[in-house]
């Protein structure tokens, strides 16, 4: 196999590898670095000794991502964790189709970020990419049964804390429009009506854990107060998709200052994730 054939076969796997790395690392930039490193390692390898290229690449990218998680523990963050993926409001960028094809919304990425590295790898590879437990076990240095238990624990966390967003983007947008209309008018009852009873609002900031607000009444009061502040400071917003669901980019004096992602489940807002840091937000939306 010559280098051209090798490059073609790698490119056929690239979007899948990028999706695996993003789910494990929670950062698109780090995922791209992991995929590039996998390509460099492939070039240094003897293709004749690689029996199953897809499995080999999956293992290599996962190991790179796993090492990335472990290495970052003692390093200061220089991006959001998880890092939201921003697309235009009409979702026209095909680059993100494979990346977000499993409905990997912000709420799920938040839960994945809370798992141990081994739990995250077991769940992502098995539940999202159908990698057999025996292969994951060899990668993690665990028994297949222990790996199965890792995935099971992770699955319970995801099901309990990362509800699957409604698929209809237009219906999501109607709910979000009703939320903002009620907030602008200061109508607490209407705000509560569009929020799930156990809604969570998370504010993500650099180098610190996200602060959280729980419950429809508390989140509604926060939204009402925030709408008043936005009006006083002349803030504006542009609709976008954030990890495939409805969101917005907030601007102040034409400069992007925050990204807001909504998780709408059964016609109610189940989670709101707010990313605040003008410098990082500028990089995300540029």
Q: What are the residues facing 259 on neighbouring strands? A: 249, 275
Q: Which residue's structure tokens are 């602060």?
A: 211
Q: Which domains does the chain have, with CATH numbers?
A: 3-81+106-161 (1.20.140.160), 169-285 (3.10.450.50)
230-236: list long-range contacts, CB under 8 Å, 24+ apart.
231/184
Can you tell me the distance from the alpha carbon of 113 to that of 62, in angstroms, rounded to the nearest whole number?
15
* Structure confidence at residue 233 (pLDDT): 46
Q: What are the residues facing 197 on neighbouring strands? A: none
What is the per-residue pLDDT across 208-236, written as a single tens digit (0 to 9) for each?
667 899 999 999 999 998 886 655 445 78
Average pLDDT value for the chain:
89
Can you tell me the distance from the alpha carbon of 268 to that of 176, in angstroms, rounded to the nearest whole number?
9
* Structure confidence at residue 90 (pLDDT): 78
* Structure confidence at residue 20 (pLDDT): 95
What is the per-residue pLDDT across 127-153, written as a single tens digit (0 to 9) for each?
999 999 999 999 999 999 999 999 999
φ/ψ bin of 130: left (φ > 0), alpha (ψ from -120 to 50), beta (otherwise): left
* Structure confidence at residue 176 (pLDDT): 96
* Structure confidence at residue 92 (pLDDT): 60
The model's pTM is 0.88
Joined tokens for residue 183 = 């907030």
Greater model confidence, 192 or 232: 192
CB 84, CB 243: distance < 8 Å: yes
Among 35-39, 177-181, 281-285, whose mean pLDDT is lowest?
A: 281-285
Q: Where are the alpha helices (DSSP H) in 26-129?
A: 28-43, 53-72, 106-114, 117-123, 129
φ/ψ bin of 133: left (φ > 0), alpha (ψ from -120 to 50), beta (otherwise): alpha
Joined tokens for residue 1 = 């196999």
What is the per-residue pLDDT across 45-103, written as a single tens digit (0 to 9) for each?
888 788 899 999 999 999 999 999 887 765 555 678 888 989 888 766 666 766 776 66
Greater model confidence, 152 or 7: 152
* Structure confidence at residue 73 (pLDDT): 63
Can you tell me the distance from the alpha carbon of 22 to that of 29, in angstroms, rounded to the nearest whole number?
9
pLDDT > 80? residue 207: no
pLDDT > 70? residue 21: yes
What is the per-residue pLDDT across 166-184, written as a single tens digit (0 to 9) for each?
989 999 999 999 999 999 8
Cβ-based neighbours of 25, under 8 Å, separated by 6 or more: 31, 34, 65, 68, 69
Q: What is the mean pLDDT of residues 241-264?
A: 92
* Structure confidence at residue 125 (pLDDT): 97
Greater model confidence, 117 or 2: 117
Helical (H) or strand (E) element with 196: strand 195-204
């Amino acid at each position: 196999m010559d280098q051209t054939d090798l490059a073609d076969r790698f490119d056929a796997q690239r979007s899948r590898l990028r999706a695996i790395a993003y789910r494990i690392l929670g950062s698109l930039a780090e995922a791209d670095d992991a995929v590039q490193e996998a390509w460099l390692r492939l070039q240094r390898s003897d293709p004749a000794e690689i029996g199953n290229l897809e499995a080999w690449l999956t293992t290599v990218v996962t190991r790179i991502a796993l090492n990335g998680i472990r290495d970052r523990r003692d390093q200061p963050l220089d991006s959001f964790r998880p890092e939201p993926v921003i697309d235009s409001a009409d979702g026209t960028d095909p680059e993100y189709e494979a990346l977000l094809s499993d409905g990997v919304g912000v709420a799920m990425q938040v839960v994945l970020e809370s798992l141990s590295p081994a739990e995250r790898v077991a769940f992502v590879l098995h539940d999202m990419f159908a990698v057999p437990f025996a292969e994951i076990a060899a990668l993690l240095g665990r028994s297949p049964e222990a790996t199965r238990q890792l995935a099971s624990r992770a699955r319970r966390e995801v099901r309990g804390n990362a509800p699957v967003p409604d698929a209809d983007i237009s219906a999501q947008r109607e709910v979000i429009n009703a939320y903002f209309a009620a907030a602008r008018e200061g109508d607490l009852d209407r705000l509560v009506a569009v929020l799930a009873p156990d809604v969570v609002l998370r504010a993500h900031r650099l180098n610190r854990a996200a602060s959280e607000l729980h419950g429809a009444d508390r989140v509604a009061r926060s939204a009402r107060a925030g709408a008043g502040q936005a009006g006083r400071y002349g803030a504006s917003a542009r609709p976008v998709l954030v990890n495939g669901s409805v969101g917005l980019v907030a601007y102040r004096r034409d400069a992007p200052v925050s990204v807001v992602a909504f998780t709408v489940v059964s016609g109610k807002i189940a989670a709101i994730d707010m990313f605040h840091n003008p410098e990082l937000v500028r990089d995300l939306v540029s």
